[in-house]
């Protein structure tokens, strides 16, 4: 969780578990991103978190080790927004971290100097001396000096007096001293102690025996550059792969007989911990011993840790491992080759930056063109359906997957072998749509130059233009329009290009599409029409633009029936007001929730409910699971629903209609008693 994105995901998940007051927003976000198949942008996650934090209880956010963040600028901006937002006055923020320059410069201005506390270094050094004494007394490696108290005293004095607040420095020196065989070795080591952690790590790397060095570096490359730690079993297979042989291969007999001894390849730099992966409760993981190890390897130009260098080794390791499994069945691979699924998942991610190596490009092409390897790989992982744990056989081509992953040089070689550029298959229909979705502009140009059909239909987004719009790739959109892409082509998740652009909030692209003749009232797709898409997402300026171009404010269709229904469901009060001012029918029926009032009541948007009632919304209109907005409001947790502006209970509407009789909605009193008490009051409060 060392990025702003990772922090946001962790926080929204923890808030989500607090119950309905917090879960509603994340449920809506999940649904709007195709039930989790699309990942929300950081900006979207920020909005979700801010909304969730406005809940009814005081929140304490505790963030440890800010200095380990790889997105410090973004984090500081987030922190600034939290402390300056009046609606978040009930949120308390507690954070720790080393006193890095940007923190010392920015944070006191945000929260006040009196709220910034430096830990007492003398107290820390006292703790470190206690730690040193405990290690000397408890470590089996130091037990041999029990009859030589002067040696232990010498170690205690030297290591305990020089850490300058760094536990990590003291721990590494003790690790090194444990390997000393005699008193002279101890004395030599103590006379030449490194000055800081960087010098410490440099010495550790230099002391790795030459015959182990390449495997040690490979382990560190994986741990530094991959998205997660390795399981111990994965790590054992990673160093067993022989990538320097011609050809490279993996042999089961090259595995370490004692997996736990893998730490000896990188002493003091890696550690084995208990972790969890997927459905497994507890798994041994190999991870970097401390974040400062990663900082050192990345920031001090250690050979092998430039991004391209590390990616070459990782890609070669994964491809060699997977290629070695050609004679195994899928079931056998999953049970006996623990690195297979992870290798299948990450090899393309690292092949992109590794394409500076002709050997990697050749290996990637060979792997993709080998029918057996390709089939086995896609049964372990499919990049266009990464959520599938057990993917079935794919109908996509190797060119399609290379385009999806942005492997430009690999694509260039594949195209030179007369691959069908318009072959259909995969979740995104064809190679052009796949490349467009992920914004791989140069690959898009390559495909078009080779005759790719810009208007080819099929796949998740119907055509390449819609896919580019979903990804927000304006340059590719312009390229397609220059190539005469059909702006009114129907099909795909959003039905047409204009709806996709409206949903994504791309105002200039919406204007561009309208100038190219896009039908402002075209029907289809998840949102029914472009106005409903923009209303659902709250894009006010796009809504104005669409209305100015003649969009029908009462057009029917889509999940929410009308634009007003979509805006009401999401709680966009100003959008609701705008649509009503433009003539939206406040009692229009349609969609999953029937009416705008029902949708707003279902989601608990009290300000929108008030506005709709002011405009004459019928509280007794029949629709939805609970039959009326009045009943859904009580059922979904509006605490005191009362009639508004002289509205009275309709005696023709059964009060129990649509309500499960064994469900309690209102705490100590039953739903029915509560509703009878509240129904005759003359205003609405929450």
- Would residue 412 count as lying in a domain? no
Arithmetic mean of pLDDT, 520-549 = 96
Reported as a pLDDT band with limits 50, 70 and 90, residue 646 is: very low
Reported as a pLDDT band with limits 50, 70 and 90, residue 488 is: very high
Measured in whole angstroms, the distance separating CA 18 from the mean position of its chain's CA atoms is 21
> 220 and 108 in one domain?
no
> 147 and 270 in one domain?
no
> 75 and 16 in one domain?
yes
> 361 and 259 in one domain?
yes
Give the orientation angle of helix 464-471 with respect to helix 497-504, to 10 degrees: 0
Q: How many domains does the chain have?
A: 3
Task: Evaluate whether 376 touches 326 at the Cβ level (below 8 Å).
Answer: yes
Decide which of 341, 367, 393 is a domain's last residue: 367
Reported as a pLDDT band with limits 50, 70 and 90, residue 621 is: confident
Residue 148's domain comprises 121-193
> 63 and 23 in one domain?
yes
> 261 and 138 in one domain?
no
Q: Give pLDDT, residue 654.
A: 43
- Would residue 78 count as lying in a domain? yes
Half-sphere CA count of 228, side-chain side, radius 13 A: 14
Mean model confidence pLDDT for the chain: 87
- Would residue 393 count as lying in a domain? no
> 227 and 351 in one domain?
yes
Please give the radius of gyration of the chain, using alpha carbons only, rounded to the nearest integer.
31
Q: Give pLDDT, residue 633.
A: 73
- Would residue 205 count as lying in a domain? no
Beta pairing partners, 63: 95
Reported as a pLDDT band with limits 50, 70 and 90, residue 120 is: confident
> 174 and 133 in one domain?
yes
For the stretch 238-252, pLDDT in tens is 999 999 988 999 999
Residue 1, classified by CB atoms within 10 Å of its CB into exposed (0-12), middle (13-18) or buried (19+), is middle
Find where tokens 């380990």 sit.
Answer: 68
For the stretch 452-462, pLDDT in tens is 999 999 999 99
Give the single-character DSSP code of 276: E
CA–CA gap between residue 507 and residue 503 (Å, rounded)? 10
CA–CA gap between residue 159 and residue 170 (Å, rounded)? 6
Between the alpha carbon of residue 87 and those of residues 90, 110, 494, the distances in Å are: 8, 17, 35
Decide which of 115, 149, 184 is a domain's last residue: 115
Q: What are phi and psi of 82, to 5 degrees?
A: -65, -50
Q: CB pairs under 8 A, 24+ apart, for 5-10?
A: 5/42, 5/45, 5/71, 7/63, 7/69, 7/75, 8/42, 8/45, 8/46, 8/48, 8/49, 9/45
Find where tokens 């929410």 sit.
Answer: 560
> 132 and 219 in one domain?
no
CB-CB neighbours of 578 under 10 Å:
20
Q: Give pLDDT, residue 160.
A: 86
Q: Give pLDDT, residue 262.
A: 98
Reported as a pLDDT band with limits 50, 70 and 90, residue 638 is: low
> 243 and 168 in one domain?
no
Beta pairing partners, 224: none
Percentage of residues in the chain with pLDDT exceeding 90?
63
- Would residue 100 count as lying in a domain? yes
Reported as a pLDDT band with limits 50, 70 and 90, residue 105 is: confident
Q: Which of 254, 214, 213 is nearest to 339 (CA)?
A: 254
Reported as a pLDDT band with limits 50, 70 and 90, residue 76 is: confident
Q: Give pLDDT, residue 125.
A: 85
Q: Nearest 5 degrees, angle CA 171-CA 173-CA 175?
A: 70
Q: Which range among 96-105, 266-275, 357-366, 540-549 shows the weakest confidence by mean pLDDT?
A: 96-105
Reported as a pLDDT band with limits 50, 70 and 90, residue 644 is: very low
Q: Which range among 184-198, 237-251, 574-588, 619-633 shows the weakest confidence by mean pLDDT?
A: 619-633
Decide which of 316, 338, 367 is a domain's last residue: 367
- Would residue 54 count as lying in a domain? yes
- Would residue 544 count as lying in a domain? no
> 150 and 258 in one domain?
no
> 134 and 85 in one domain?
no
- Would residue 555 count as lying in a domain? no
């Amino acid at each position: 969780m060392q990025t702003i994105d990772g922090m946001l995901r962790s926080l929204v998940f923890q808030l989500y578990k607090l119950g309905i007051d917090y879960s509603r927003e994340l449920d809506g976000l999940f649904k709007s991103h195709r039930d989790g198949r699309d990942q929300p942008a950081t900006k979207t996650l920020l909005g979700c978190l801010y909304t969730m934090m406005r809940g009814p209880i005081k929140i304490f956010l505790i963030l440890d080790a800010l200095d380990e963040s790889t997105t410090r600028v973004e984090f500081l901006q987030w922190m600034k927004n939290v402390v300056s937002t009046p609606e978040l006055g009930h949120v308390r923020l507690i954070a720790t971290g080393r006193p890095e320059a940007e923190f010392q410069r920015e944070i006191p201005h945000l929260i006040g100097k009196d709220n910034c506390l430096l830990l007492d270094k003398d107290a820390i050094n006292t703790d470190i001396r206690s730690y040193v004494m405990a290690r000397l007394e408890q470590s089996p490696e130091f037990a041999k000096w029990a009859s030589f108290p002067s040696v232990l005293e010498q170690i205690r004095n030297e290591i305990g007096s020089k850490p300058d607040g760094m536990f990590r420095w003291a721990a590494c020196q003790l690790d090194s001293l444990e390997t000393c065989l005699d008193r002279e070795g101890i004395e030599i080591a103590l006379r030449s102690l490194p000055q800081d952690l960087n010098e410490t790590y440099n010495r550790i790397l230099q002391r790795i025996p030459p015959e182990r060095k390449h495997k040690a570096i490979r382990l560190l490359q994986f741990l530094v550059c991959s998205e997660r730690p390795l399981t111990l079993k994965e790590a054992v297979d990673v160093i067993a792969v022989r990538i320097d042989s011609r050809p490279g291969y993996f042999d089961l007999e090259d595995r370490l007989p004692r997996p736990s001894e893998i730490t000896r390849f990188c002493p003091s730099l890696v550690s084995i911990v208990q972790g969890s992966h997927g459905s497994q409760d507890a798994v041994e993981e190999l991870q970097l011993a401390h974040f400062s190890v990663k900082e050192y390897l990345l920031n001090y130009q250690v050979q092998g840790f430039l991004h391209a260098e590390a990616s070459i080794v990782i890609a070669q390791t994964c491809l060699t491992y997977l290629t070695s499994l050609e004679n195994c069945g899928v079931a056998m691979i999953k049970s006996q080759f623990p690195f297979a699924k992870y290798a299948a998942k990450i090899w393309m991610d690292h092949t992109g930056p590794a394409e500076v190596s002709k050997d990697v490009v050749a290996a990637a092409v060979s792997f993709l063109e080998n029918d057996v390897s390709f089939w086995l790989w896609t049964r372990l992982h499919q990049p266009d359906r990464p959520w599938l744990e057990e993917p079935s056989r794919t109908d996509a081509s190797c060119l399609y997957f290379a385009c999806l992953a942005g492997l430009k040089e690999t694509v260039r070689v594949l195209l030179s072998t007369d691959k069908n550029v318009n072959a259909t298959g995969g979740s995104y229909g064809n190679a052009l749509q796949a490349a467009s979705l992920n914004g791989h502009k140069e690959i898009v140009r390559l495909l078009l130059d080779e005759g790719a059909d810009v208007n080819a239909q099929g796949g998740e987004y119907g055509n390449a233009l819609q896919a580019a719009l979903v990804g927000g790739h304006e340059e590719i959109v312009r390229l397609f329009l220059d190539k005469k892409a059909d702006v009114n082509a129907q099909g795909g998740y959003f039905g047409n290009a204009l709806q996709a652009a409206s949903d994504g909030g791309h105002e200039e692209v919406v204007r561009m599409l309208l100038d190219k003749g896009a039908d402002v009232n075209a029907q289809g797709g998840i949102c029914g029409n472009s106005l409903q898409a923009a209303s659902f997402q709250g894009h006010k300026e796009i809504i104005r633009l669409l209305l100015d171009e003649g969009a029908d404010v009462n057009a029917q269709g889509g999940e929410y029936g009308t634009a007003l229904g979509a805006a009401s469901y999401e709680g966009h009060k100003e959008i609701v007001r705008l649509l009503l001012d433009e003539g939206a029918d406040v009692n229009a029926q349609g969609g999953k929730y029937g009416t705008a009032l029902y949708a707003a009541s279902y989601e608990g948007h009290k300000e929108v409910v008030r506005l709709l009632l002011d405009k004459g919304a019928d509280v007794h209109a029949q629709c939805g699971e609970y039959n009326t907005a009045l009943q859904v409001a009580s059922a979904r947790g509006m605490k005191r629903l009362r009639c508004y502006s002289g509205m009275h209970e309709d005696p023709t509407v059964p009060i129990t209609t649509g309500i499960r009789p064994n469900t309690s909605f209102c705490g100590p009193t039953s739903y029915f008693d509560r509703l009878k008490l509240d129904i005759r009051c003359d205003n609405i409060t929450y």
